[in-house]
Structure 1
Amino acid sequence: MAGADLARDILAGAADRAAALEARTGVRPCLATVLVGDDPASETYVRMKRNRCAAAGIGSRLVALPAGISTTELVDRVGTLSADPAVHGILLQHPVPAGIDERAAFEAIAPAKDVDGVTMHSFGAMAFGRPGFVSCTPGGILRLLDAYDVPLVGRRAVVLGRSPILGRPVGMLLLARDATVTYCHSRSRDLPELVRGADLVVASVGRPEFVRGEWLKPGAVVVDAGYHPGGLGDVHAPSARVRASLLTPVPGGVGPMTIAVLLEQTVAAAEGLVTSPAS
């Protein structure tokens, strides 16, 4: 269940829409990325996203800030971007360094520019089925499941992980598609047994090769949303392949979908902001 080809199609569509918007209005969609500190993995992710922006004809602005910045200063910088009409989408690369209130910084992103779907406003809109931007990785996972014709109605889904930008929102999206959703986490009892009853497993626990193949129901669909050094995911792929009917690879599964949805939503934000009465 690879995401690279589907992501390429989504990016191509976003590029066409970006070009059409610029031709019609003279406005080029712009994504501002805020990077705090010098974490090598975060720097790599940001560079990859900026390269994808360039390929899709989307402008990008990097705001690099020192690790020692205060929460107040970071909130002010994000707020300035929210008020800048030349910026259509804002991405705060996470995690931020210890000592910074990441949630406060997320909430400084204007809902109309929250193309990463990380604010409480976006989560609430998504949970209630209202217009807004979805969290990018969960949104990408749903697009991938649809592309592979994975049935969701009435199916039992287990989500391992409860982060506000991955585990919780993907469960809400699955629930909205009439799946029966169980959230599991570090304090869940009898975790292998809970996983064994699932038709669909979404692994986002942040621990390499945590989910073992023997935990899986034969024929289960497994989405590995983890990434760790050495190309490892949250699922032990060799043993999972024996039982799973579909398994996302790491890398090349969920990751490309996350970036594709991010840029697609950046273009959508630009379209909405340019054509809204307030623009």
Structure 2
Amino acid sequence: MMENKVVLNGTVVADRMKEQLQERVAKLSAQGILPCLATILVGDDPSSETYVRMKGNACKRLGIDSRRIHLEAATTTEELIAVIEQLNADEQVHGILLQHPVPSHIDERAAFEAIAISKDVDGVTTLGFAQNAFGLANFPSCTPAAIIAILDDYELPIEGKHAVVVGRSPILGKPVSLMLLNRNATVTICHSKTEGLANIVGQGDIVVAAVGRPKFIQGSWIKEGAVVLDAGYNPGNVGDVDYEACLTRASAITPVPAGVGPVTIATLLKHTVDAAELTVRA
């Protein structure tokens, strides 16, 4: 029945997270510390510019300093790494975010690896990934952490459930699989080479869509009563699942927009505040 459906409202979850952060930011401010997130944008990709602006505005509303570095598209890997190293050395900067994707001539992995682990608030380094695998990361990747935060906020059980993750990127599919595994879910990771994908998705009590293809996950694939978390965002405000079709079978589902996205940004802010607090305790 439709009345049993739960639309997992990410805006509400994000607002709760930001309310909790306000007191922590005020406490740091009283100690003379202004949490600071530095965002680096290389080139002029319109979507990336929008994301960076949204993150900056979210920082401003919470009293977090947002330092924006906009580099030309012709910037080399070496020049980008030099900028990152300057930010690593700047004690006023607590978090560093390199907006993905960078121009194709740049070695993105080398640039990510240049970010100091203490400032890797988006969980993009291999060390951060390894720490996440062991459940030890201060700053797990933001979108995976947002997915877990939504499940927890709505008190949806993870332990013992079969989670099916469609997507295997190093900053989304893989880390969220590890986080679910660390919470005692049984996890199946699917990808473009998976055979019998529809049947596997149909076994999932929890389905995470992170494939980057609009309306890829079909409603007929979804197990009756499954929880569906759509981490995709495609042109036209469309996610990776066919929302209306999946809604008929799922017990709970995130919309796009206003699902995982707002919680991802709130998680980035939380990690920046976490990083600032860690400098106080250091």
Q: Give the TM-score range, shorter chain.
A: over 0.9
Distance 1:169 1:133 in 2: 11
The one of 197, 200, 210 aligned to 2:203: 197
Aligned match of 2:266: 260
The one of 2, 12, 21 aligned to 2:19: 12
**Amino acid across the alignment from 2:202:** R
Distance 2:229 2:265 in 1: 17
Distance 2:270 2:73 in 1: 30
Instruction: Compute the RMSD of aligned alpha carbons.
Output: 0.8
Aligned match of 2:91: 85
* Helix, strand or coil at the partner of 1:243: coil
Asked if the contact 1:112/1:273 (under 8 Å) is kept, the reply is: no
The one of 195, 219, 222 aligned to 1:216: 222
* Same amino acid, percent of matched pairs: 56
**Amino acid across the alignment from 1:135:** S
Distance 2:232 2:209 in 1: 7
Distance 2:248 2:276 in 1: 45
Aligned match of 1:178: 184
Asked if the contact 1:15/1:58 (under 8 Å) is kept, the reply is: no
Asked if the contact 1:160/1:167 (under 8 Å) is kept, the reply is: yes
Aligned match of 1:32: 38
**Amino acid across the alignment from 2:22:** A
Structure 1: give runs of 5+ residues left out of the alignment. Answer: none
The one of 127, 142, 147 aligned to 1:141: 147
* Helix, strand or coil at the partner of 2:67: strand
The more displaced of 9-18 and 203-212 is 9-18
* Deviation digits for residues 155-182 of structure 1 (CA, Å, limit 9, x no counterpart): 1110000000000000000000000000
Structure 2: give runs of 5+ residues left out of the alignment. Answer: 1-7
Distance 1:274 1:116 in 2: 20
Report how far residue 246 of structure 1 moved: 0.6
Aligned match of 1:241: 247
Distance 1:36 1:12 in 2: 32
* Deviation digits for residues 196-219 of structure 1 (CA, Å, limit 9, x no counterpart): 111110000000000000011111
* Helix, strand or coil at the partner of 1:232: coil
The one of 30, 46, 59 aligned to 1:53: 59
Q: Structure 1 segments of 4 or more deviating over 3 A?
A: none
* Deviation digits for residues 229-249 of structure 1 (CA, Å, limit 9, x no counterpart): 111000001110110111100
TM-score, length-normalised on structure 2?
0.96
Aligned match of 2:126: 120
**Count of equivalent residues:** 275
Distance 2:281 2:222 in 1: 48
* Helix, strand or coil at the partner of 1:11: helix
Distance 2:280 2:72 in 1: 32
Report how far residue 131 of structure 1 moved: 4.2
